Chains A and B, each alone.
Chain A
Amino acid sequence: MILKRRTFLQRTLATSTVAMAASAGLMAPRAVFAEWPKNAFMAKGVPEALTGLLGTTSANDSDQIKIKAPDIAENGAVVPVTVSTSLDNVESISIVASANNQPLTSNYILPAGTEAFVSTRIKMAKTSDVIAVVKAGGNIYTTKKEVKVTIGGCGG
């Protein structure tokens, strides 16, 4: 294979920039985003988790957020949770299981054009509130729903 020297150099340069931006072996999109918020995920309490994630604990209760989760979850290892909201300018949705060892379960960054809807399955250690935290237009809104858990799903 014969590569023109110019193209070859350009390509090498392009790839190496990407490689430097993303740490070795990771995909390029990763470089675009902030780091995995370690402090928030490792936090042992709900306020600490929210501070770690959003930098504040001040939040408004909102009835415009809907959490769809079972009233009673037989198996805490698999609790289906769906969060949606009619709030405008939603930037992120986070799902918190308040009695878990590490309460923050997940955080979803939703760019413009993506609907304020996310559905997943979480683990819950015991009966507790599932809290949905929505960041919209720079403000933070929450709502919660209690889920009764018969068998815990964390460790054991």
Chain B
Amino acid sequence: MAATIKIRAKAKGGVTTVKALMNHPMETGLRKDKKTGNKIPAHFIQEVVAEHNGKVVMTAYWGTAISKNPYISFKFAGGNKGDKIKISWVDNQGQSDSREATIK
């Protein structure tokens, strides 16, 4: 799968702010296909894990009510320019992706 995560991480005053955008349909399972009338099966990210230099700084569990192409932002103490931030997600159909970025 192509890279589905965009990460921006910025360190300022001892706090690192991380913003991430993921490409994902986030289907609720309630929507109907207009042509066929069949329900579109649920397809959504269940878990997002963010790591800073290998240490987990945030875990998110998501339901279907997170918007399509999800956005997430969080802050943690510490983190320097050049450190690595890794974000991974797993969805309910077993697909997954992860991406690493550098703190600016």
Chain A residues engaging chain B, CB cutoff 8 angstroms: 25-27, 29-30, 32-33, 36-37, 41, 77-80, 82, 97, 100-102, 104-111, 113-115, 117-124, 153-156
Contacts and interface: CB of A to CB of B under 8 A. Distances in A.
Contacts, number: 126
B83 to A, nearest CB: 13
Given A29-B49, A29-B51, A108 B31 contact: no
B74 A108 contact: yes
Given A153-B67, A154-B28, A111 B57 contact: yes
A33 B67 contact: no
A83 to B, nearest CB: 10
Interface residues of B, number: 36
Interface string B59-72: 11111111110111
A121 B57 contact: no
A154 B49 CA distance: 25
Given A36-B47, A102-B65, A106-B66, A113 B76 contact: yes
Nearest to A38: B46
Contact of B49 (A30, A41, A80, A100): A30
Contacts of B90: 26-27, 30
Given A26-B90, A27-B90, A119 B63 contact: no
Contacts of B56: 29, 32, 111
A115 B75 contact: yes
Contact of B61 (A107, A123, A124): A107
B23 interface: no
